[in-house]
């Protein structure tokens, strides 16, 4: 459903409001896609919205920097944030609803349930550098899937291991949602778009453009730890490991 220039983008902060909005769409017989994000949106996210609009009548974007997927030494406190800018971009992209909850809405006092993963989450790729990461992702993604009740969930192929993990999560927990993988959007020099690319600006940043040579559509994962110095490791399907670069994060 594209309402053109007159379209208003509703922002909701609670699961109850989200469910209410989706219930109204359901009563009108409309299908729903959800685009989970941590904000600081770029064209890769907007492509997910566009692909969602192709499949569903209504598209929800979620904006939530999920503390559960950051280790203590990582960049939670420095993660980029621009809610006003994100909302303007989502409005232009034709998104219908933004769910941007505060931390206490997702993890209220006494929150005690975490999704624990095996399978693709333990493939020895990003998980070997960020052991906490996929359980944190799975916990928030399960909550977003269940809270939105969406038919489709849009995820970038850039985070390929994450895509496999959330597909398995939906299948294993019988969450009735179809996870759609969407091709990676790239900068002019070939670098995959990422909210964290901001930290690659400055002297020597051009070295990062070598990443897509390795990660280009084959089953390759780029594993970057988010400590003060970030060793970039490229691991191929055959198990080979290529140290790509060492760069201050
Ligand atoms: O890919 C991301 O931005 C995050 O891991 C996600 C899926 C929004 C969960 O917080």
* pLDDT for residue 205: 46
Report the pocket of ligand 1 as residue ranges, CB < 6 Å.
Answer: 36-38, 66, 69, 137, 140-141, 159, 162
Give the pLDDT confidence score for residue 133 in this predicted structure. 95
Residue 98 has a pLDDT of 98
**Which DSSP string corresponds to 13-37?**
-SHHHHHHHHHHHHHTT--EEEEEE
Nearest ligand 1 atom, CA 159:
1
- CA 216/CA 184 separation, integer angstroms: 9
Give the Cα separation of 81 and 91 in Å (integer). Answer: 17
pLDDT value for 234: 43
Which atom of ligand 1 is the closest one to the Cα of 64?
Answer: 10
CA of 36 to the centre of ligand 1 (A): 6
Which residues make Cβ contacts (< 8 Å) with residue 95, sequence separation at least 6?
A: 9, 35, 49, 59, 60, 61
Ligand 1 mean position, distance from CA 167 (Å): 13
pLDDT of residue 157: 92
Q: Write down the catalytic residue from 45, 96, 129, 132.
A: 45
User: Which residue blocks in 74-210 are alpha helix, DSSP H?
Assistant: 83-93, 103-106, 126-129, 133-148, 160-172
| Residue to mutate, 42, 66, 79, 126, ligand 1, most ligand atoms under 8 Å from C-beta | 66
Confirm whether 45 is a catalytic residue. yes
207 C-alpha vs ligand 1 centroid, how far in Å?
26
* pLDDT for the residue numbered 195: 80
CA–CA dist 211, 232 (Å, integer):
9
CA-atom Rg of the chain in angstroms: 18
Q: Whose CA is nearest to atom 1 of ligand 1?
A: 37
pTM: 0.81
Report how far residue 73's alpha carbon sits from residue 236's, in angstroms, rounded to the nearest whole number: 27
Q: Measured on CA atoms in the order 220, 38, 109, 145, is the torsion positive or negative?
A: negative
Q: Residue 10's beta-bridge partner residues?
A: 97
pLDDT at residue number 196 = 67
Are the beta carbons of 145 and 168 closer than 8 angstroms? no
Helices (H), 29-117: 43-55, 83-93, 103-106
One digit per residue, the tens of pLDDT, for the chain of length 249 reads 655 444 689 999 999 999 999 999 999 999 999 999 999 999 999 999 999 999 999 999 999 999 999 999 999 999 999 999 999 999 999 999 999 999 999 999 999 999 999 999 999 888 888 999 999 999 999 999 999 999 999 999 989 999 999 999 999 999 999 999 998 888 777 777 888 665 544 444 444 444 443 443 333 344 333 333 333 444 433 344 443 333 332
Model pLDDT, residue 198 = 56
**Beta sheet of 178-182, edge-to-edge order:** 10-12, 97-99, 58-63, 32-37, 152-156, 178-182
**What's the pLDDT score for residue 229?**
30
């Amino acid at each position: 459903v594209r309402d053109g220039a007159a379209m208003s983008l509703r922002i909701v902060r609670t699961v109850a409001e989200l469910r209410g909005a989706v219930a109204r769409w359901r009563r009108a017989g409309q299908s729903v896609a959800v685009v989970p994000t941590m904000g600081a949106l770029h064209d890769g996210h907007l492509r997910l919205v566009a692909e969602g609009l192709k499949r569903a009548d209504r598209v929800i974007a979620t904006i939530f920097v999920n503390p559960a997927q950051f280790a203590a030494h990582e960049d939670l406190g420095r993660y980029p944030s621009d809610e006003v800018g994100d909302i303007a971009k989502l409005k232009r992209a034709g998104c219908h609803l933004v769910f941007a909850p505060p931390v206490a809405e997702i993890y209220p006092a006494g929150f005690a349930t975490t999704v624990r993963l095996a399978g693709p989450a333990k493939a020895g790729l990003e998980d070997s550098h960020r052991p906490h990461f996929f359980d944190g992702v799975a916990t928030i993604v399960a909550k977003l899937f269940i809270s939105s009740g969406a038919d489709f969930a849009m995820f970038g192929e850039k985070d390929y291991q994450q895509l496999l993990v959330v597909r398995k999560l939906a299948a294993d927990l019988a969450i009735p949602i179809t996870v759609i993988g969407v091709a990676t959007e790239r900068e002019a020099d070939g670098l995959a778009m990422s909210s964290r690319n901001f930290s690659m600006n400055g002297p020597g940043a051009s070295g990062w453009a070598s990443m897509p040579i390795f990660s280009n559509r084959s089953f390759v994962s780029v594993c970057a730890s988010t400590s003060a110095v970030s060793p970039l490791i490229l691991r191929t399907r055959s198990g080979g490991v290529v140290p790509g670069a060492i760069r201050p994060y």
